[in-house]
Amino acid sequence: MTDEKVTISKGLEGIFIADTTLCKIDGTNGKLWYRGYPIEVLADKSNYEEVAFLLLYGHLPNRHEMDVFDARLKDEREVSSEIKEIIKMYSGKAHPNDVLRTCVSALSTYDDDMSDRSKEANLERAVKLIAKLPTIIAMIGRTMRGKGFVEPDRSLSHSSNFLYMLTGKRPDKESAKLIDLMFILHAEHGSNASTFSTLVTGSTLADTYSAVVAGIATLRGPLHGGADEAALNMMKAIGEPDNTEKYIEDALAGKQRIMGFGHRVYKAYDPRAKVVYKYLQSFMKTTTDPQIEKLLEIAIRAEKLMEEKLSKTKGIWPNIDFFSGPLYTAMDIPSDLFTPIFAASRMAGWTAHLFEYWENNRLFRPLDNYVGKLDVEYVPIDKRQ
């Protein structure tokens, strides 16, 4: 055994894995750009289709490019009867994110030529995945609640159509903007855990489906894509706004993490959380739903206390997942669909990163530092203690 000194970067903190032109995060100042465009500008002025195009093709589409891309997405929204069978078979028996993962695995069986690894073929796969995920998620959500499928509607935008397929109602202007906003804000975020695992799988030259299935699986945990569901569950557990401070104090005293706070890269307020909060506030002016008002009051009181306790001292500020729950609830979206919706939006970022990485691919193969024994004597099974 060598006495070689190794430095371990737990969680790969501070390690750069590739050059990218997709996304820049300034964690110190709480800023985010997709391909150079500030997130606040895209949130206010763009739409998800345009952002997905930007991520995949590297520039904002002109009118013609947009029309073609939009039509392709609409063409690909439907899913086969076999996928619908999988949805019926598993919805309610597993978390919706797990059912989604299974469906995306199954989508690979419809690929005409998996051996075609050209950029064009992969971009086509990305279009299909981006187009079909909202349909699958809406169908899972409805099946879990004993409702029949609602087929996609070509007259609606990507995100509005999702809300329509989920609720059976055409969204009003405000809900249409809010759901599109959430799709935009979740579309991309550097080499986060799920994008990294997409890249790790892709770096073996596995196919696009295998790589994004790894991404969907990685998103599931409460430290990553599961945080908004967990944050909303916490707000529901708090119940009444007046319980907020005691609940948070007790949780922190018990060394629990407050979901929707903290980030590996941001040591400032997550700019996406600021955008969500801004839209949530303007939405609140138009709603009189007491449940939403209560959730928001709990969120605001929790945020204030966390700011006193942890934000300024430890840099643990709200992340995008903190205010997402009340916003989704305002749109009648059940909390078990939050993570799958994150996956549907992030599909653009996952695939764009994967294709960028493949242009200069190298197998990921880090090392671990063995600290166990060596040359241990083999004892036959009957002689072991």
Looking at the annotation, which residues are catalytic? 263, 321
Residue with Cβ nearer ligand CMC (11 or 239): 11
Q: CB count, 10 Å around CB of 378? A: 4
Residue whose entry in the numeric block shows the structure tokens 């069978």:
85
Binding of ligand CMC by 335 (CB under 6 A)? no
- Please give the radius of gyration of the chain, using alpha carbons only, rounded to the nearest integer: 22
Q: Contacting ligand CMC (CB under 6 A), which of 192, 201, 208, 329?
A: 192
Please work out the total of residues on this chain that contact ligand CMC, with binding judged by CB under 6 A. 20
Q: What is the distance, to the nearest Å, from the Cα of residue 82 to the centroid of all Cα atoms in its chain?
A: 26
Kindly list the distances between the CA atom of residue 310 and the CA atoms of 26, 315, 324, in Å, as whole numbers in the listed order: 20, 7, 21
Rounded to 10 degrees, what is the CA torsion of 50, 56, 61, 65?
-110
| Residue (of 167, 141, 164, 169) closest to 153 by Cα position | 164
Residue 239 CB, nearest approach to ligand CMC (Å): 20
Residue 113 CB, nearest approach to ligand CMC (Å): 34
Q: Contacting ligand CMC (CB under 6 A), which of 199, 320, 337, 344?
A: 320
Residue 259 CB, nearest approach to ligand CMC (Å): 5
Q: How far apart are CA 229 and CA 235, in angstroms?
A: 10
Residue 225 CB, nearest approach to ligand CMC (Å): 5
Residues 247-306, interacting with ligand CMC (CB under 6 A): 257-264
Q: How far apart are CA 122 and CA 211, in angstroms?
A: 12
Structure token digits, residue 155: 């007259």
H/E segment holding residue 247? helix 244-253
Residues 6-45, interacting with ligand CMC (CB under 6 A): 11
Reduced to 3 states (helix: H, G, I; strand: E, B; else coil), residue 343 is helix
Residue with Cβ nearer ligand CMC (76 or 245): 245
156 bridge partner residues: none
x-or-dash string of contact with ligand CMC, 208-227, rule CB under 6 A? ---------------xxx-x
Residue 290 CB, nearest approach to ligand CMC (Å): 26
| Residues 6 or more apart whose Cβ sits within 8 Å of residue 382 | none
* Stretch in the footprint of ligand CMC (CB under 6 A) among 125-133, 145-153, 237-245, 317-325: 317-325
Q: How far apart are CA 330 and CA 288, in angstroms?
A: 11
Residue with Cβ nearer ligand CMC (127 or 258): 258
Residue with Cβ nearer ligand CMC (107 or 305): 305
| Residues 6 or more apart whose Cβ sits within 8 Å of residue 166 | 137, 138, 141, 142, 150, 333, 337
Residue with Cβ nearer ligand CMC (211 or 259): 259
Residue with Cβ nearer ligand CMC (11 or 92): 11
Residue 10 CB, nearest approach to ligand CMC (Å): 8
Q: Contacting ligand CMC (CB under 6 A), which of 88, 314, 332, 366?
A: 314
Q: How far apart are CA 278 and CA 283, in angstroms?
A: 9
Q: Which residues bind ligand CMC (CB under 6 A)?
A: 11, 189, 192, 223-225, 227, 257-264, 314, 316, 319-321
